[in-house]
């Protein structure tokens, strides 16, 4: 037995080399989400930062969860099938089979995971080998990079770039020549996020065809993070890269019940893809978390069954939520224009970028951080609205593209949004 002081001594002498790969390769310093969540709480700001809705999930899903935990089937509160609860994988297969017009084999081509995070982690750990190059389209959801590093992969970045005076997400372009030049004989995977966080870009069929062409030419796997798949605004269509010719065989498509049903705390997601690739994901998932919570899976299954039954009808939650969100997008963009923070109008997702490069306020906080970090801190403390700095979604070389913008999240109750917008309007006065 160790004495208390011996334990302290041992803990204090842990060397870097004694840590496992996660701690040796990654660290917890400067995790942007942590800094800005803390600041928002401390300042009691109206939090328009993280993509965490303050809107409740739909009643039928909440009721299904109550029923799953309370009803008299004793198995519903016990661990279920490791790779996905049978009712949920069947519901996912039925919904996506219907949309993609193909038969999806629920037991072989679907894996239920702890959030979309789990699917991303399983895909990267299950398919990337040390030294493999992974092309990440920027700006990117920040966990892609540490996951690739943990697998021993080498991230390669290609930024979407705004055209001059870009006013909408469509004006952010992936340069085909630059993109093609990134592929080498070491490229194993690309990671695409469509609809895109934070820009709100919905990739067109032509853009996806160009990306798919390169994946096929270089025999590369595509991870398509489609968590905002249902958040599509008028005039746009969500095309699925897995549906393009020759792409099913090399694509893992990822989604999230948290995003679909405003239930991000349920942490349930899934990956869909061909059996041989899914095998890589299944191994990682089985030997790490094994299975996901049964009652949550049951409730999400009930939700998806209901949406499939009323698919294309006005009350289908998948599309009615997007309609509600589109009104919020329009409202927020109007105010941003009014106060001179020109928005990049999103075509999908629930974030909007606001251009803060012309703001005429001294918000320097003496740190060496990027301009958007300083502005977000200033805005949270002085105006009472918390947002997210966009440069955090870029690699070091390309942060200059992001630092012109802050990201504002609008998956919020009307009252929250109105409160935030009223506070933002006060900027007009301080900016003189």
Q: Which residues bind ligand PMP (CB under 6 A)?
A: 51, 115-117, 141, 193, 197, 225, 227, 256, 258, 264, 269
Q: Is 53 helix (H, G, I), strand (E, B) or coil?
A: coil
Report how far residue 113's alpha carbon sits from residue 29's, in angstroms, rounded to the nearest whole number.
Answer: 27
Q: Strand locations in 115-267, DSSP E? A: 133-138, 154-159, 161-162, 172-173, 187-193, 221-225, 251-256
> Tokens in use for 63?
């009721």
Q: Which does 50 bind (CB under 5 to 8 A by kind): ligand PMP, ligand GLN, none?
A: ligand GLN
Interface mask (CB under 6 A) for ligand GLN, residues 191-220, using x and -? ------x-----------------------
Residues forming beta bridges with residue 191, ordered by sequence position: 136, 223
- Cβ neighbours around 265 below 10 Å, total: 12
Report how far residue 241's alpha carbon sits from residue 211's, in angstroms, rounded to the nearest whole number.
Answer: 9
Closest distance of CB 405 from ligand PMP, Å: 16
Chain residue at closest Cβ approach to ligand GLN: 51
Answer yes or no: are the C-beta atoms of 119 and 148 closer than 8 Å. no
Closest distance of CB 379 from ligand PMP, Å: 21
Q: Which does 256 bind (CB under 5 to 8 A by kind): ligand PMP, ligand GLN, none?
A: ligand PMP
How would DSSP label each residue in 276-314? Answer: HHHHHHHHHHHHHT-S--HHHHHHHHHHHHHHHHTTTST
Closest distance of CB 94 from ligand GLN, Å: 27
Subset of residues 28 to 87 that bind ligand GLN, contact rule: CB under 6 A? 33, 50-52
Q: Strand locations in 281-425, DSSP E? A: 343-344, 351-355, 385-386, 388-389, 405-409
Residue 190, phi-psi category: left (phi > 0), alpha (psi -120 to 50), beta (remainder): beta
Closest distance of CB 259 from ligand PMP, Å: 6
Q: Which does 390 bind (CB under 5 to 8 A by kind): ligand GLN, ligand PMP, none?
A: none
Cβ distance to ligand PMP smaller for residue 141 or 317: 141
Cβ distance to ligand GLN smaller for residue 51 or 58: 51
Cβ distance to ligand PMP smaller for residue 123 or 371: 123
Tokens 């947002």 sit on residue: 387
Cβ distance to ligand PMP smaller for residue 253 or 384: 253
Q: Applying CB under 6 A, does 118 fall inside the site for ligand GLN? A: no
Closest distance of CB 258 from ligand PMP, Å: 4
Cβ distance to ligand GLN smaller for residue 120 or 214: 120
Report how far residue 317's alpha carbon sits from residue 310's, in angstroms, rounded to the nearest whole number.
Answer: 9
Cβ distance to ligand PMP smaller for residue 200 or 295: 200
Q: How far is CA 406 from CA 232, 323, 335, in A?
A: 21, 24, 15
Subset of residues 122 to 181 that bind ligand GLN, contact rule: CB under 6 A? none
Closest distance of CB 115 from ligand GLN, Å: 8
- How many residues of this chain bind ligand GLN (CB under 6 A)? 5
Answer yes or no: are the C-beta atoms of 149 and 25 closer than 8 Å. yes
Per CB under 6 A, residues contacting ligand GLN are 33, 50-52, 197
């Amino acid at each position: 037995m160790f004495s208390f002081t011996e334990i302290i001594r041992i803990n204090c002498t842990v060397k870097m080399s004694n840590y496992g790969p996660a701690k040796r390769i990654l660290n917890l310093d400067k995790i942007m989400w942590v800094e800005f969540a803390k600041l928002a709480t401390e300042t009691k700001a109206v939090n328009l930062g993280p993509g965490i809705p303050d809107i409740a999930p739909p009643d039928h899903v909440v009721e299904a969860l109550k029923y799953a935990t309370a009803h008299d089937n004793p198995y519903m509160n016990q661990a279920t099938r490791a790779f996905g609860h049978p009712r949920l994988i069947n519901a996912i297969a039925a919904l996506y089979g219907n949309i993609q017009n193909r038969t999806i084999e629920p037991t072989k081509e679907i894996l239920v995971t702890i959030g979309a995070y789990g699917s991303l982690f399983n895909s990267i750990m299950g398919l990337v080998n040390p030294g493999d190059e992974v092309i990440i389209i920027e700006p990117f959801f920040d966990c892609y990079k540490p996951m690739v590093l943990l697998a021993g992969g080498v991230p390669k970045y290609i930024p979407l770039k705004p055209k001059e005076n870009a006013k909408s997400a469509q004006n952010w372009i992936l340069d085909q020549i630059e993109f093609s030049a990134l592929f080498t004989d070491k490229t194993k995977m690309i990671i695409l996020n469509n609809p895109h966080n934070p820009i709100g870009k919905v990739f067109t069929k032509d853009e996806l065809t160009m990306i798919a062409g390169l994946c096929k030419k270089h025999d590369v796997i595509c991870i398509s993070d489609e968590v905002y798949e249902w958040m599509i605004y008028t005039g746009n269509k969500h095309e699925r890269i897995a549906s393009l010719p020759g792409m099913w065989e090399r694509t893992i498509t990822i989604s999230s019940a948290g995003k679909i049903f405003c239930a991000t705390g349920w942490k349930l997601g899934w990956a869909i893809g061909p059996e041989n690739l899914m095998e890589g994901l299944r191994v990682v998932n089985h030997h790490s978390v094994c299975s996901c919570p049964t009652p949550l899976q049951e409730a999400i299954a009930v939700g998806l069954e209901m949406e499939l039954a009323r698919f294309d009808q006005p009350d289908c939650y998948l599309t009615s939520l997007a309609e509600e969100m589109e009104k919020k997008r329009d409202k927020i963009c109007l105010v941003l224009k009014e106060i001179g923070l020109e928005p990049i109008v999103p075509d999908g997702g629930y974030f909007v970028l606001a251009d803060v490069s012309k703001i005429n306020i001294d918000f320097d906080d003496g740190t060496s951080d990027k301009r958007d970090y300083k502005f977000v801190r200033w805005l949270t403390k002085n105006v009472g609205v918390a947002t997210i700095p966009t440069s955090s979604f870029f690699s070091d070389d390309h942060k200059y593209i992001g630092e012109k913008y802050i990201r504002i999240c609008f998956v919020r109750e009307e009252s929250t949004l109105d409160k935030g917008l009223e506070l933002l309007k006060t900027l007009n006065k301080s900016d003189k």
